[in-house]
Amino acid sequence: MLSTGLRIACACAASALALTACSSSSSSGGGSGGKTLKVAYVKFGNEIQVDAHMQKVKAQFEAAHPGVTVKLDPIAAAENDYYTKIDLMMGSGSTAPDVVYEDTFLINSDIKAGYLAPLDSYLASWSDWSQFPDTAKSAARGIDGKTYGVPMGTDTRALYYNKAMLTKAGVAMPWQPKSWQDVLAAAKAVKATSPGVTPLNVYAGKPDGEGSTMQGFEMLLYGTKDTLYDSASKKWTAPSKGFTDSLQFLKDAYSGGLTLPPQTELDPNIPNVVSGQMLPQGKLAIDLDGSWVTGTWGTSGAKPWPQWNTVIGEAAMPTQDGSGKGTISMSGGWTLSVTAKSKNKDLGAQFVELALNKENSASYDIADSQIAVRNDVAADPSYQSTNPTTAFFTGLVPVTQYRPAYAEYPKISDAIQVAMEAVITGQSSPADAMKAYTATLKGIVGSDNVAAGAS
């Protein structure tokens, strides 16, 4: 690894090259004295790596652009609240940041709302853009074919488990469940042998927002014969047996006392409690979660835990009955984007390019346990060897699925969260929640764009 000083020098040189590349279309740049570049991103709970990354890039950028001040705006808010906050900010020229940390599932809805600026004219002259594979580039591509952000990394999802607890429960190591019933059976065995321990965590309900939809629900649904959206027919799927079965899994887990109580699960801080307290303190046996969780336990993480790799194992999430590819994962990720109302788009694009050059991407991906999206970072031995779970989570990419990130998706995700919450709190049966979701879905996308599932 390069020393910090040498990394900064290299990054500044890269920034200068990017500045030269953009000079033909920019009146800004190194001579843009007196300008302020505003950068907004989330900083909440255990998620401190984004802030550390932005602080580093701020220093590099200001060194390369005398007279330009980078004003960081770390937003301390849970996921859904962060989305609301930045939408409000981007809606006004007086409050819009120049650069924003953007979840890929919101790209098309924010394009439709007029919040984001296309970056194609900048990326065309950025040589590093060739290091991003087409799958990564598509994460921030609008329906109009233009690119509205550069991905920082991606992720996959799987089951974390406490090796000692499952061994005590009679589960053979290494654990790899073959079906949903295997997961529930292991949780029941933990409940019987380790009183006082929460056997299983599956995120559900509105407070955790997209985390509930993606980690909790879609990891189930995409392991059935159904999906949210049929790309062949271009219709959203409802009603579907897979959707109802996924809700039934949640009902079985929550009503069976295998999970956190619903009132605890519906705390918006629960992801930080799970990764920062319950797993390290031996209070949780199985956690359905994302590849980034181990970043919390690293030496630069919010809750350093040197022994985690000897305590915790990882298993791929099985499909419902082991059919199909046998296992399933979901992938998402975040981008850096330039806002449509920014008065410093050229500088904003240059900040994005500097923040996500090879050296900075590598350091961020390593610190935050991200799956690299740049080819040169993914091939770097220092990246490959940093985290013992890197190979496991990268190995899930062949079975991973992606959300249908159309403009309507955020509203649909919200409707899924409503259905989950109604089931885990006992307010609705899975069948009734399916009916309510179907009606809501038709109201969002129109009845003609909805068709029943195959199963």
Q: Do 47 and 190 have their domain in common?
A: no
* Ranges assigned E (strand) in 294-404: 312-315, 317-318, 327-331, 334-338, 400-402
Q: Do 215 and 93 have their domain in common?
A: no
Whether residue 174 has a cis bond before it, omega within 30° of 0:
yes
Domain count, the chain: 2
Q: Do 424 and 375 have their domain in common?
A: no
Q: Do 322 and 339 have their domain in common?
A: no
Confirm whether 374 is domain-assigned. Answer: yes
Q: Do 191 and 206 have their domain in common?
A: yes
Strand order in the sheet with 317-318: 317-318, 327-331, 400-402
Q: How far apart are CA 137 and CA 311, in angstroms?
A: 36
Q: Do 303 and 209 have their domain in common?
A: yes
Per-position pLDDT tens, the chain of length 455: 333 333 333 444 344 334 333 333 333 344 455 899 999 999 987 778 999 999 999 999 999 999 999 999 999 998 889 999 999 999 999 999 999 999 999 999 999 999 999 999 999 999 999 999 988 898 899 989 999 999 999 999 999 999 999 999 999 999 999 999 999 999 999 999 999 999 999 999 899 999 999 999 999 999 999 999 998 899 999 999 999 999 999 999 999 999 999 999 999 999 999 999 999 999 999 999 999 999 999 988 899 999 999 999 999 999 999 999 999 999 999 999 999 999 999 999 999 999 999 999 999 999 989 999 999 999 999 899 989 999 999 999 999 999 988 999 999 999 999 999 999 999 999 999 999 999 999 999 999 999 999 76
- End-to-end Cα, the chain, rounded Å: 51
Pairing of strands 317-318, 327-331: antiparallel
Confirm whether 17 is domain-assigned. Answer: yes
Q: What are phi and psi of 178, to 5 degrees?
A: -100, -10
Q: Do 143 and 161 have their domain in common?
A: no
Q: How far apart are CA 159 and CA 155, in angstroms?
A: 14
Confirm whether 224 is domain-assigned. Answer: yes
Q: The domain containing residue 285 runs over which residues?
A: 157-331+402-451
Tell me the C-alpha to C-alpha distance, in Å, between residue 292 and each of 18, 24, 67, 96, 190: 30, 39, 36, 29, 25
Confirm whether 393 is domain-assigned. Answer: no
Question: At 65, which CATH number?
Answer: 3.40.190.10
Instruction: Give the contacts of 145 (CB within 8 A, at least 6 positions apart).
Output: none
Q: How far apart are CA 444 and CA 167, in angstroms?
A: 47
Query: Do the Cβ atoms of 338 and 22 come closer than 8 Å?
Result: no
Going by the DSSP 8-state scheme, the letter that residue 372 receives in this structure is P
CA atoms within 13 A on the CB side of 383: 23
Confirm whether 21 is domain-assigned. Answer: yes
Q: Do 257 and 382 have their domain in common?
A: no
Q: Residue 172: count other Cβ atoms within 10 Å of its Cβ.
A: 8
The pTM of this model reads: 0.84
Q: Do 406 and 381 have their domain in common?
A: no
Radius of gyration of the chain (CA): 22
Q: Do 324 and 353 have their domain in common?
A: no
Q: Do 147 and 185 have their domain in common?
A: no
Q: Do 198 and 243 have their domain in common?
A: yes
